[in-house]
Structure 1
Amino acid sequence: MKYLKTSIRLKFIMLFAISFLLQNCSNFLEQEPGDKTSITEQLKDKKGVLMALNGLYLTLKNNVSGEIFSVYPDLQGGNIKFSPSLGSSTKGEITIPENIKEVYSFEDQSTDSNFKLFYTSGYSIINQANLILEYTDALADATTAEKSQIKAEALTIRAYMHFLLSEVYSQNYGYTQDASHMGIVYSTHSISNGITYPARETAANTYSLIINDLQTSLDLYSNAILFNGPAYSYFNTNSTKALLARVYLSKKDWKNAYDTANDVIENSGVSLISSADYISQWEKIDLPTSETLLEFSVTKSTDGSVSGSLSSYFGYTFDTNYERYTASQDLIDLYETNDIRKQLFLVKTLSTLVNLQPVMLNYYFTKKFQGNPGYVAFRLSEQYLIRAEAAIGLNNPEQAKKDINIIRERANAALLTTTDNISETLFLERRKELCFEGHLLFDIARNKKDISRINGCISLSCGLTYPSPKYVLPIPLNTLYINSNLEQNESY
């Protein structure tokens, strides 16, 4: 993994930490006091813009790889349960982490949402991207190719963050027949352009804007290399197409989803990990798998300390040093006996309080996120499964079976011989292959399924019946106070 140094970026995080909520502070963009540097001064040349873009990647990485978002889709969907406490006074107890307690129980509150920081940081990231887009064309010391590449990456980041916000705060695209239900606020201008109070777009318009940004960015990508780091650390044509395929899938635009995923599979130059290397590739400490299209890597400071590793949530070192999130038996039971993906779990027997008595129980720590793992945003396996789901939507179940079998053969699982129940088979294949990579809850919603958490669920509410307003989270209340045009989600 590429370690991102924080020292040169800190002032840019501070410089750009002007969130969507702080529109009344827009004068800061015009003239900063004291020894601070104005936005105009900072973004006047290529060096400043590139440092800002590098800082933007860091803030994006921090938002998506933070505990709240990185565990949310799998925790809500039922792939994750909690490990026993190591605290001296609570040793062996199973409790819900406080910072996600309300979300886990489907009781998140607008007044103090567990996801408030994800929302505000998300719109701050979008504002940062917009600032970069607005200043790039005027750069006198950048080549045409460099300016085009800068804009391509900033546009992709803008689209990606809007897409993630829509997944969390807007019901799935098919919730209404014409996608006329509420989407999200889509911001295409920085707050330096003046105070505005936008309303939420419809889901249909939200997706149209996301797709437009991605298609525009694909036309802008050039051969210019902006940074010295490995290609998997930054958006490029391949990872942008992978995102676009995911967006089309969420929209159930089957033809475009199929064609875009197929383009990545056929033309990216990236290949699936072989069966022989599958486990060892995931076990690598400091590099992503060879089929990774984009990974937001961990941050390493000048003193060598690491932050932002997903091992902070999923890691296991030894029986007195492990983290809070493990695989549920619901997930483990989906794998066939000979499926090599079962080897992606460290099985540890830990003392657990059951009816106030210590009992030794098995826990399954994923090997995907041991050592210094970053956030896996896109990898090639997902594209095969996108192509398979799109094929089903296009009434081509044989192609879907073929793609599912590619993934299953690699895993040493039994091959499909029929297309019976192919949609359910695909759903479960995604759950097994992409576990802990941020898909399950959104797959459940897209397929209009109920949420059912069985093993390890310690909430008073262990499931939801579709449709339900609780499939999405509340808009933070302080945002509603600032923007009177912003409508809250149902039931909040």
Structure 2
Amino acid sequence: MQNFKTMKYLKYITAAFLIFSLQSCSDFLEQEPGTQTSIDELLQNKAGVLTAMKGLYGAVEENVRGERFAVYSDLQGGNIKFTPTSSGSSIGQITPALNVREVYSFEDTEETSNFESVYTGHYSIINQANLILEYTPKLTDATDAEKNQIKAEALAIRAYSHFLLSQIYCQDYSYTSDASHLGIVYSTESIKAGLKYPKRETLATTYSLIINDLKTAIDNYSDTSAMTGPVYSYFNKNNTKALLARVYLYKKDWANAYETANDVITNSGVQLVSSSNLVAQWVQPDLPVSEALLEFTIPRDAESAAKVTMASYFGFNANTYARYVASNDLVNLYEADDLRKQLFLTVNIQTLVNGLLTPAPYNFTRKFQDNAGYVAFRLSEMYLIRAEAALENGQPNLGMSDINIIRARANASLLTNTLNLKENILLERRKELCFEGHLFFDLRRNHLGITRNDGCISTNCSIAYPSPKFVLPIPLYNINLNENLQQNESY
């Protein structure tokens, strides 16, 4: 049995290496017909490592921008719903999208998990980052500063993937009083270093390892990215601090959350988009909003045409529309004069109602049209983190001040007292960060249940906290590869 598992695992490793090679450096590897460069050869020099880094960023972008993760938190929390089928015999019918069908109803299974590709994708990313971390110190044609920069970016990616895995597969940090419940397998060595069958860490240890990776990355950054291209597309000191601030928020380490978010706000050089430009910034094609701290570059073909973008899920044009729109649960939260309400485009679509096709209004987000990329971090989130941390640190007036900065920018009415400030902070996060992957995780870390009303076609529209279904099952394929990998409760 062990030999069979080892052979199966080795097959998986070979596939992972092959995927890494093909995604990272297809042109670089074509030395002559019928031959390819091995991992060892590729990573022997700076050019090869940077080629691998480019592939690594592409893999990260694909995994977070992919439909499953890109819609997960907003769909589960109730910010978005489905559009009706646009043609064919099912025209007007509303059904869950295939890639999230079971997840949407909190009925995902380990045997056929909707998220198997997300789980394996993140560990492939982590393995690639570890390979780069193992080879970079040996480079003879890179300066120490260049090697440290590569190390910093790879560590940030490793921490980011581990953190996203913990969000999907682990209960929130305060689920137990000491975070001693199940975390994830934290991988710090490539599979090339040898076969291992590790156990899952506790969530407390998982977070400690994430934080250590991020702090080490921050200490190693230089002023120049290892990669060429838009600065906002790669990890740097500022957006790594933004990730660290988010990790502290989820850990409920309020002092460090405040300090780190404040550092980004004060020292990053990035400014909030002004009221006068808020809508225009979001709807501009090809470029992210100027307050974006990290938005991964979308893939393009040889003619520089965008291949897959966030518009694949949220887009609308005169002829076609995507599967996901805002629920009225979300849209109705905005005041009439809130500028963010202009970020919804209302379109009537033929919908099957009581057996008849009837035009019904649907609200498409204007955030993710025209070649939009996945927004990983932006400055407004840092204000919202600082606000929540200030409140929890016993400084509610500072928290209210930060909330009012965001509300004033949106032309929303300002808070005049700190009563119910926690609820107002969470409400502001829902309105400001909608479609950016926060709502479900915000509800869960605050021990709040799920209530989905408008457009909910799930078998479970409301679920109280706590619930074992607030985390997904580890895919059975991965459980079979590692006999020490413990499955989540109820799966």
Does the TM-score normalized on the shorter chain lie above 0.5? yes
TM-fit CA distance, 1:24: 5.3
Does residue 226 of structure 1 match 2:226? yes
Alpha-carbon distance between aligned partners in 1 of 2:438 and 2:51, rounded to the nearest angstrom: 31
Contact preservation (8 Å) 1:30, 1:38: no
Contact preservation (8 Å) 1:130, 1:190: yes
Alpha-carbon distance between aligned partners in 2 of 1:251 and 1:417, rounded to the nearest angstrom: 29
Amino acid at match of 2:373: G
TM-fit CA distance, 1:228: 2.3
Contact preservation (8 Å) 1:104, 1:459: yes
Deviations 1:256-299 (CA, angstroms, capped at 9, x unpaired): 00000000000000000000100000010011111000001211
Residues 44-55 of structure 1 mapped to structure 2, 5 A cutoff: 44-55=44-55
Contact preservation (8 Å) 1:270, 1:291: yes
TM-fit CA distance, 1:104: 0.3
Residues 163-242 of structure 1 mapped to structure 2, 5 A cutoff: 163-242=163-242
Unaligned runs of 5+ in 1: 1-20
Which residue of structure 1 aligns with residue 286 of structure 2? 286
Amino acid at match of 1:455: D
Which residue of structure 1 aligns with residue 28 of structure 2? none
Residues 24-423 of structure 1 mapped to structure 2, 5 A cutoff: 26=13, 35-318=35-318, 320-423=319-422
Q: Secondary structure at the match of 1:277?
A: helix
Which residue of structure 2 aligns with residue 460 of structure 1? 459
Alpha-carbon distance between aligned partners in 2 of 1:460 and 1:57, rounded to the nearest angstrom: 37
TM-fit CA distance, 1:308: 2.6
Alpha-carbon distance between aligned partners in 2 of 1:142 and 1:22, rounded to the nearest angstrom: 34
TM-fit CA distance, 1:25: 5.3
Alpha-carbon distance between aligned partners in 2 of 1:226 and 1:341, rounded to the nearest angstrom: 36
Alpha-carbon distance between aligned partners in 1 of 2:252 and 2:314, rounded to the nearest angstrom: 32
Amino acid at match of 2:67: E
Alpha-carbon distance between aligned partners in 1 of 2:138 and 2:278, rounded to the nearest angstrom: 47
Deviations 1:318-342 (CA, angstroms, capped at 9, x unpaired): 2x41101000000001001111100
* 1:336/1:27 CA distance change after superposition, 3 Å: closer
Contact preservation (8 Å) 1:145, 1:223: no
Q: Secondary structure at the match of 2:273?
A: coil
Alpha-carbon distance between aligned partners in 1 of 2:16 and 2:456, rounded to the nearest angstrom: 47
TM-fit CA distance, 1:170: 0.3
Contact preservation (8 Å) 1:285, 1:372: yes
TM-fit CA distance, 1:230: 1.4
Alpha-carbon distance between aligned partners in 2 of 1:41 and 1:176, rounded to the nearest angstrom: 47
Alpha-carbon distance between aligned partners in 1 of 2:224 and 2:341, rounded to the nearest angstrom: 42
* 1:475/1:309 CA distance change after superposition, 3 Å: same
* 1:364/1:26 CA distance change after superposition, 3 Å: closer
* 1:172/1:277 CA distance change after superposition, 3 Å: same
Contact preservation (8 Å) 1:300, 1:307: yes
Alpha-carbon distance between aligned partners in 1 of 2:113 and 2:437, rounded to the nearest angstrom: 20
TM-fit CA distance, 1:92: 1.0
Which residue of structure 2 aligns with residue 488 of structure 1? 487
Contact preservation (8 Å) 1:24, 1:195: no
TM-fit CA distance, 1:184: 0.4
Question: What's the RMSD between the two structures over aligned residues?
Answer: 1.5
Percent of pairs with identical residues: 60
Contact preservation (8 Å) 1:233, 1:294: yes
Alpha-carbon distance between aligned partners in 1 of 2:127 and 2:232, rounded to the nearest angstrom: 24
Which residue of structure 2 aligns with residue 427 of structure 1? 426
Q: Secondary structure at the match of 1:111?
A: coil
Contact preservation (8 Å) 1:328, 1:364: yes
Amino acid at match of 2:291: E
Amino acid at match of 1:257: A
Alpha-carbon distance between aligned partners in 1 of 2:150 and 2:225, rounded to the nearest angstrom: 10
Contact preservation (8 Å) 1:257, 1:390: yes
Which residue of structure 1 aligns with residue 4 of structure 2? none
Deviations 1:400-452 (CA, angstroms, capped at 9, x unpaired): 10000000000111100010010011001000000000101100111110100
Amino acid at match of 1:42: L
* 1:45/1:448 CA distance change after superposition, 3 Å: same
TM-fit CA distance, 1:35: 2.0
Alpha-carbon distance between aligned partners in 1 of 2:128 and 2:293, rounded to the nearest angstrom: 24
Unaligned runs of 5+ in 2: 1-7, 22-33
TM-fit CA distance, 1:227: 2.4
Amino acid at match of 1:372: N
TM-fit CA distance, 1:29: 9.7
Contact preservation (8 Å) 1:29, 1:39: no
TM-fit CA distance, 1:26: 4.8
Q: Secondary structure at the match of 2:275?
A: coil
Alpha-carbon distance between aligned partners in 2 of 1:454 and 1:443, rounded to the nearest angstrom: 18
TM-fit CA distance, 1:356: 1.0
Alpha-carbon distance between aligned partners in 1 of 2:37 and 2:213, rounded to the nearest angstrom: 30
Deviations 1:139-173 (CA, angstroms, capped at 9, x unpaired): 00001110000000000000000000000000010
Contact preservation (8 Å) 1:23, 1:191: no
Alpha-carbon distance between aligned partners in 1 of 2:246 and 2:362, rounded to the nearest angstrom: 32
Contact preservation (8 Å) 1:83, 1:324: yes
* 1:27/1:414 CA distance change after superposition, 3 Å: closer
TM-fit CA distance, 1:306: 1.8
TM-fit CA distance, 1:303: 3.1
Alpha-carbon distance between aligned partners in 2 of 1:268 and 1:468, rounded to the nearest angstrom: 39
Alpha-carbon distance between aligned partners in 2 of 1:362 and 1:430, rounded to the nearest angstrom: 25
Contact preservation (8 Å) 2:225, 2:236: no
Alpha-carbon distance between aligned partners in 2 of 1:102 and 1:29, rounded to the nearest angstrom: 27
Contact preservation (8 Å) 2:78, 2:453: yes
Q: Secondary structure at the match of 1:362?
A: strand
Q: Secondary structure at the match of 1:137?
A: helix
Alpha-carbon distance between aligned partners in 1 of 2:247 and 2:10, rounded to the nearest angstrom: 29
Contact preservation (8 Å) 2:106, 2:460: yes
